[in-house]
Amino acid sequence: MVHQDDSFIREVNEELRSDQMRLIWRRFGRILIGAAVLVVVGTIGKVSYDYWRDSKTSAAGDEFLIALTLADQGKSDEAMAALDKLEKEGFGAYPVLARMRTASLKAEGGDVDGAVAAFTAIAKDTSVPAALRDAARLRAAYLLVDAGSYEQVSAEAEQLATPQGAMRHSAREVLGLSAYRHEDFARAREWFEAILADAETPRNVANRAQMLLDLMTASGKISS
């Protein structure tokens, strides 16, 4: 008898659940179907976008490599034209990379002022990722060691020379080199000693700083 009661209760519960499901479906069926459709469409859209983005990035990458190859072959005019096209029509990070390479080609071709102006423009462009802006600023500073004053180099590099700066080692070096070139040996010493005092300074940078410090000491430009 107990077994029959249990079976009856189970049947009633199943019937209730079935009625509840039918009621839920009548009330919310269209919404559930709509939600399912949105999920499917959204998935298709994401996959399609990812494919489009990857294709555009790949194409831009190929164009950038072609431009670099032209530059390596000494075909500067063709390389500049390819980079200019990539700057205007490229995708992802490639337009700004094209701008950076164009500026470098200007420097290699002897147009230092044009190269500095190009790197400075990149450094001031807030649409460019911060790391690339800093790299452009540092590149301009190195060019200005021979082509500008210490103040010009400082305007580009000193903000990168902070203790937490990712590019502080190179920034300190370029500041020290500029000070040395302009015979401001006391300031050069400060920057080279800052390089040596930083335990994270790369060995090659530290070696160059030590060499210049030794040279200044041996020539009597600074005291030991």
Domains of the chain: 123-224 (1.25.40)
State the DSSP string of 115-163: HHHHHHHHHH-TTS-HHHHHHHHHHHHHHHHHHS-HHHHHHHHGGG-ST
Q: What is the pLDDT of residue 2?
A: 43
Q: What is the pLDDT of residues 119-149, one digit of tens each?
A: 999 999 999 999 999 999 999 999 999 999 9
Question: Which class for 8: exposed (0-12), middle (13-18), buried (19 or more C-beta within 10 A)?
Answer: exposed
* Amino acid (1-letter code) at residue 15: E
How many alpha carbons lie under 13 Å from residue 190 in its C-beta half-sphere?
A: 8
Cα three-residue angle 131-136-140, rounded to 5 degrees: 150
Q: Measured between alpha carbons, how far is 16 from 214 in angstroms, rounded to an integer?
A: 92
Q: What is the pLDDT of residue 66?
A: 84
Q: What is the pLDDT of residue 38?
A: 66
pLDDT tens track of the chain, all 224 residues? 445 555 545 554 565 556 566 665 566 656 656 666 666 666 666 666 555 466 667 777 778 788 778 878 888 889 889 888 888 887 777 888 889 899 999 998 899 999 999 999 999 999 999 999 999 999 999 999 999 999 999 999 999 999 999 999 999 999 999 999 999 999 999 999 999 999 999 999 999 999 999 999 998 888 76
Cα three-residue angle 53-54-57, rounded to 5 degrees: 85
Q: What is the pLDDT of residue 40?
A: 66
pTM of the model: 0.72
Mean pLDDT of the chain: 83
